[in-house]
Structure 1
Amino acid sequence: MALIYPVQADAPEPDEDTDPDFEELAADLSDTWLVEIAVGEDGDDACFGPLTARAAWDLAIDLDDRRPEWTVSVVPLHVAGTAEELVELFED
């Protein structure tokens, strides 16, 4: 599985069968999200969005189930704040 999505550094490790807390992701990072797909090393990449956190997660899971060899990333589209504030979110 090559599914990549953001988590805060101080967040407790989720149970393996637990979905992310979508309201928390929206509140902490962004209301809108993108799904990025890297198909291979030859530059066949795509980006889909904007989506809600839940819609982006559902699309990423569906893509990963169908093509586990692809790298699928769920990323926030917009984060209000400075680079320093973003770093602090993940390193506190």
Structure 2
Amino acid sequence: MALVYPVQADSPEPDGGTAPDFAELAADLSDTWLVEVAVGDEGDDACFGPLTARAAWDLALAVDQRRPEWTVSVVPLHVAGTADELVALFEEG
């Protein structure tokens, strides 16, 4: 499975099969998200959105289930704050 989505470094490890906390993703990173799909090395990529965190996750999971060989990424469309604040969200303290 090549499903990629952001997780903060200090987030607890989710239970097996548990979906991410969408409210937390929206509050910490962005209200709007994109789903990026890379289907090969020849530039056959697409981007879908803007979507809510939940809608982006649902779309990414559905695409990944149908084409697990593709790389599917869920990314924030807008991040309020500075680069230092964004990096601090993901660094271990």
Please give the range of the TM-score, normalised by the shorter of the 2 chains: over 0.9
RMSD: 0.6
Aligned to 1:13: 13
Alignment match, 1:52: 52
In the alignment, the residues of structure 2 paired with residue 89 and residue 76 of structure 1 have an alpha-carbon distance, to the nearest angstrom, of 13
Looking at structure 2, the residues matched to 10 and 75 of structure 1 have their Cα atoms a distance apart, in angstroms, of 19
CA distance in structure 2 between the aligned counterparts of 1:25 and 1:6, rounded to whole angstroms:
8
Name 1:43's counterpart in structure 2: 43
Distance 2:39 2:61 in 1: 15
Q: How does 1:1-92 map to 2 (within 5 A)?
A: 1-91=1-91, 92=93
How many residues align? The count is 92
Q: What is the CA distance between 1:16 and its match in structure 2?
A: 1.5
4+ runs deviating over 4 angstroms: none
Provide TM-score, normalisation by structure 1: 0.98
Deviation at 1:78, TM superposition (A): 0.2
Shift of 1:10: 0.7
* Cα offset, 1:17, TM superposition: 1.1
| Structure 1: stretches of 5+ with no match in the other structure | none
How far did 1:45 drift? Answer: 0.3
User: Matches of 1:80 and 1:20 in 2, distance apart?
Assistant: 21
Secondary structure (helix, strand or coil) at the match of 1:57 reads: helix
Please report how far the alpha carbon of residue 31 of structure 1 lies from its aligned counterpart in structure 2 after TM superposition.
0.3
Stretches of structure 2 lacking an aligned partner (at least 5 in a row): none
Amino acid at match of 2:34: L
